[in-house]
């Protein structure tokens, strides 16, 4: 069964995201091996997107530093030193195989903005159509602390969901997720069908903040996000020079995370769930909560009890129940000023109060996503 599932995952010749971390790039010769493996995958008909760490690490090496600085400005400076060196190495190796690479530096604020989000998506798709390998990294030299992705596991996950990639591969320095018994690692878990609290507890501290950020906990978080969008995530040991070839032969390596069945999320709902910044809150009563959670309905003004924030028509808002819990996110059909006028009103009363023909729904079901 496990073998059949692995074969199913790689049977679709679509888009693939591969993420490689700082620890795997401490030996710069690994870049040549990585590009060689990616070339083989591309030759099989897959469209590959590479998310890479390493800019700060190369900056540290150039400046002969052994500890990753904690100060934001120093990290930004090291990223600016290392980024050009990193891309130069990738480009030189790619040209040996007859293709080019294209650099894309992303910020969280850029992906949250709908227009910039679409521009980034279109740029990556165009690079793929031109047979160019998109290489993506966080724009560390300009990102501010509160708007960073946190680590490149999260960045790779968000890129994969934005691009509707069938599979996200995170290459790390361990063989996969391991069972934990009596506080010690036991057997490798080959397949995770559902991410339970027990699975999350297995993500013991694997961080090494001297050179990199992000351990197994960030990979479990990434797997949760990918699964919720209806796609697959595969963690494997990137220190194995032939790991990508093994993955695309459906061999039993690493840990494969499966999504629930029939959960493929639309592009609009992906943006709402993972990228959109909310600008206000709509508080609702129990009847409206039941309509949303149990009956799959839209949110009507009659179920609204309170508003806060500064949202406009089309803005993303949090939908909050009487217990102050966010149960959904959606795009408001009204500005806060107009919606304030029709709180609690039935559909037939809206036009008279507003003075124009308003929407029956405060938030339409098609523009709404439920929160776990």
CB 307 within 8 A of CB 282: yes
Cα–Cα nearest to 215, from 10, 18, 9, 21: 21
Report pTM: 0.86
Residues 6 or more apart from 81 whose CB is under 8 A from it? Answer: 58, 59, 62, 63
State the pLDDT at residue 147.
42
Q: Are strands 101-106 and 133-138 parallel, antiparallel or unpaired?
A: parallel
Which structural domains are found in the chain, ordered by start?
Answer: 2-265 (3.40.1160.10), 278-370 (2.30.130.10)
What does the pLDDT read at residue 327? Answer: 97
DSSP class of residue 311 equals -
Q: Under a CB-based contact definition with an 8 Å cutoff, are residues 127 and 100 in contact? A: no
Task: Find, among 197, 213, 193, the residue nearest to 205 by Cα.
Answer: 213
pLDDT at residue 207, rounded to an integer? 43
CA–CA separation, 52 and 25 (whole Å): 9
Q: Are strands 255-257 and 191-192 parallel, antiparallel or unpaired?
A: parallel
Distance CA 155, CA 120 (A): 13
Residuewise pLDDT in 10s, the chain (372 residues): 668 889 989 988 899 999 998 777 767 778 999 999 999 999 999 999 999 988 888 899 899 998 888 888 888 899 889 999 999 999 999 999 999 999 999 988 888 888 899 999 999 999 999 999 999 988 766 655 544 566 788 899 999 999 999 999 999 888 888 887 766 777 889 999 988 888 887 775 444 444 344 478 888 989 999 999 999 999 999 988 899 999 999 999 999 999 988 788 988 899 999 999 999 999 999 999 999 999 999 999 999 999 999 999 999 999 999 999 999 999 999 999 999 999 999 989 999 999 998 899 999 999 999 987
Question: Distance between CA 54 and CA 56 in Å, rounded?
Answer: 6
Helix (H) or strand (E) holding 61: helix 55-62
CB under 8 Å to 208, separation ≥6 — which residues? 23, 215
Distance CA 51, CA 165 (A): 13
Rg (CA), the chain: 23
DSSP β-bridge partners for residue 329: 318, 369
- Calpha distance 57→371 (Å, rounded): 37
Q: Give me the phi and psi of 117, to 5 degrees please.
A: -60, -50
Q: What are the DSSP calls for 240-296, one per residue?
A: STTHHHHHTTT-S-SEEEPPPTT-PPPHHHHIIIIIPPP-EEEEE-HHHHHHHHTS-
Closest CA to 3 of 281, 253, 210, 358: 253
Q: Residues in the chain, how many?
A: 372
Interacting residues of 250 by C-beta distance below 8 A, sequence separation 6+:
3, 6, 7, 9, 10
What is the pairing mode between strands 47-52 and 15-20?
Answer: parallel
Contacts of 234 (CB under 8 A, 6+ apart): 9, 167, 168, 169, 170, 247, 254, 255, 256, 257
Dist. CA 63–CA 80, nearest whole Å: 12
- d(CA 313, CA 325) in angstroms, rounded, equals 23
């Amino acid at each position: 069964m496990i073998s059949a599932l692995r074969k199913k995952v790689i049977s679709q010749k679509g888009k693939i995201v591969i993420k490689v971390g700082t620890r795997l790039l401490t030996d710069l010769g690994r870049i040549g091996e990585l590009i060689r493996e990616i070339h083989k995958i591309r030759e099989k008909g897959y469209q590959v997107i590479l998310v890479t760490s390493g800019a700060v690490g190369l900056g540290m090496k150039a400046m002969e530093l052994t500890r990753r600085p904690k100060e934001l400005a120093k990290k930004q400076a090291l990223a600016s030193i290392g980024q050009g060196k990193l891309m130069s190495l990738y480009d030189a190796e790619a040209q040996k195989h007859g293709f080019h690479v294209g650099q894309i530096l992303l910020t969280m604020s850029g992906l949250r903005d709908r227009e910039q989000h679409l521009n980034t998506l279109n740029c990556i798709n165009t690079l793929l159509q031109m047979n160019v390998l998109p290489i993506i990294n966080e724009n560390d030299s300009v990102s501010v602390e509160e708007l960073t992705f946190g680590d490149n596991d999260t960045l790779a996950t968000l890129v994969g969901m934005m691009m509707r990639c069938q599979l996200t591969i995170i290459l790390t320095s361990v063989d996969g997720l391991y069972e934990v018994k009596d506080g010690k690692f036991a057997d490798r878990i080959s397949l995770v069908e559902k991410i339970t609290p027990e699975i999350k507890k297995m993500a013991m501290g694997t961080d090494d903040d001297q050179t990199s950020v992000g351990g197994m906990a960030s990979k479990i978080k990434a797997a949760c996000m990918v699964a919720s969008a209806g796609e697959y995530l595969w963690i494997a040991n990137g220190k194995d020079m032939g790991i990508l070839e093994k993955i695309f032969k459906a061999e039993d390596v690493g840990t494969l995370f499966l999504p629930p069945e029939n959960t493929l999320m639309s592009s609009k709902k992906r943006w709402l769930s993972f990228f959109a910044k909310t600008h206000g809150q709509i508080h609702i009563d129990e009847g409206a909560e039941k309509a949303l959670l149990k009956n799959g309905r839209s949110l009507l003004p009659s179920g609204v009890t309170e508003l806060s924030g500064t949202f406009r028509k089309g803005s993303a808002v949090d939908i909050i129940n009487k217990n102050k819990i966010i149960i959904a996110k959606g795009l408001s059909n009204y500005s806060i000023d107009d919606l304030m006028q029709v709180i609690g009103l039935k559909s037939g009363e809206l036009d008279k109060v507003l003075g124009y023909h308003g929407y029956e729904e405060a938030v339409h079901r098609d523009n709404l996503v439920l929160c776990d």
